[in-house]
Amino acid sequence: MKVFTTIAELRQQLDSDRNAGKKIGLVPTMGALHNGHLQLVKTSVANNDMTVVSIFVNPTQFNDKNDLRLYPRTLDKDCALLETVNCTYAFAPSVEEMYPTEDTRVFHLGPVAEVMEGKYRPGHFNGVAQIVSKLFDIVRPDNAYFGEKDFQQIAVIRAMAAQLGYTFHIVAVPIVREPDGLALSSRNARLTESQRRNAPKIAETLFKSRTFAASHSVRETIDEVVNTLNAIPEMRVEYYEIVDGNTLQPVADWNDSDYIVGCITVYDGEVRLIDNIAYRRPEK
């Protein structure tokens, strides 16, 4: 695997690959790689000739400076992991390389960006759109891969791509979970022992709520999930919303859409964890 730190060198390499007819997959990450990321990389490697994994802790998407400071940075370990899944290129630029001047672009991403994370993390999706659009322009991939744990992020990136006229495929890869159900996240490493013991209750509660939902309303299901999790020491639900899986707008009734997803954010101590579950999916 080759590691690039400059845009110019990566571009030159990819131009030559493209000229040789190679198909290029992009996996944007902020590093601190785990099996969830590796699943994205494996999917890209299986479906493209070359896979670029970007490793960049993007300052413009952190509205909490403490979160940015504490975000794990483990480049050597990340590169070693990428080697094990046959990644072709890692791209690990500096902040100055990606933002030689302040990025003042403001994206108008529509209703998908205004709810949930958009409400609780003002500016977050604008920062995501800034960095992901830069990466799209640098790499010009045939396919770009994102994890479904960040369910809203995928909808926002699709909205951004539609607005900017990118026509390649944005591929959503299912959540990877620990054996006890906890969705893999770089933030899990920050949980204390007792917080880590409680963390799987998030997924457990969401999965149980699917059975509960069969005989209860949307409102009752939201209350059941929120009350169950808030009763656990150190846990505080920031929001639980049950939404249309495409528009991300809240549904009031199970018959409002054939694609319904519950999206949750929970503080487990100081650590902000997110997860989601589908209640209804359109038939393929």
Choose, by CB under 6 A, the member of 4, 26, 28, 125 that binds ligand PAF.
28
Site for ligand PAF in 195-234 (CB under 6 A): none
**Identity of the residue, 153 or 205, whose beta carbon is nearer to ligand PAF in the bound complex:** 153
Confirm or reject binding of residue 188 to ligand PAF (CB under 6 A): no
Q: Give me the least distance between CB of 153 and ligand PAF, in Å please.
A: 6
Part of the chain binding ligand PAF (CB under 6 A), chosen from 42-50, 74-82, 115-123, 125-133: 125-133
Catalytic residue among 34, 37, 108, 216: 37
Confirm or reject binding of residue 43 to ligand PAF (CB under 6 A): no
Rounded to a whole number of angstroms, the distance between the first and last alpha carbons of the chain is: 37
Q: How far is it, in rounded angstroms, from Cα 173 to Cα 162?
A: 19
Part of the chain binding ligand PAF (CB under 6 A), chosen from 24-32, 45-53, 100-108, 256-264: 24-32
Question: CB of 231 within 8 A of CB of 224?
Answer: no
Site for ligand PAF in 71-100 (CB under 6 A): none
Confirm or reject binding of residue 132 to ligand PAF (CB under 6 A): yes
Choose, by CB under 6 A, the member of 61, 205, 265, 276 that binds ligand PAF.
61
Confirm or reject binding of residue 133 to ligand PAF (CB under 6 A): no
Q: What is the 3-state secondary structure (H, E, C) of the chain?
A: CEEECCHHHHHHHHHHHHHCCCCEEEEEECCCCCHHHHHHHHHHHHHCCEEEEEECCCHHHCCCHHHHHHCCCCHHHHHHHHHHCCCCEEECCCHHHHCCCCCCCCCCCCHHHCCCHHHHCCCHHHHHHHHHHHHHHHHCCCEEEEECCCHHHHHHHHHHHHHHCCCCEEEEECCCECCCCCECCHHHHHCCHHHHHHCHHHHHHHHHHHHHHCCCCHHHHHHHHHHHHHCCCCEEEEEEEEEECCCCCECCCHHHCCCEEEEEEEEECCEEEEEEEEEECCCC
Confirm or reject binding of residue 58 to ligand PAF (CB under 6 A): yes
Q: Give me the least distance between CB of 250 and ligand PAF, in Å please.
A: 23
Q: Give me the least distance between CB of 58 and ligand PAF, in Å please.
A: 4
Question: Around Cβ 229, how many Cβ atoms within 10 Å?
Answer: 21
Q: How far is it, in rounded angstroms, from Cα 34 to Cα 190?
A: 14
Choose, by CB under 6 A, the member of 30, 90, 112, 222 that binds ligand PAF.
30
Part of the chain binding ligand PAF (CB under 6 A), chosen from 9-17, 26-34, 173-181, 210-218: 26-34
Confirm or reject binding of residue 131 to ligand PAF (CB under 6 A): yes
> Among this protein's residues, is 34 annotated catalytic?
no
Q: Give me the least distance between CB of 30 and ligand PAF, in Å please.
A: 4
Choose, by CB under 6 A, the member of 78, 142, 150, 275 that binds ligand PAF.
150
Instruction: Give the binding site for ligand PAF (CB under 6 A).
Output: 28-30, 58, 61, 128, 131-132, 150, 153
Active site residues: 37
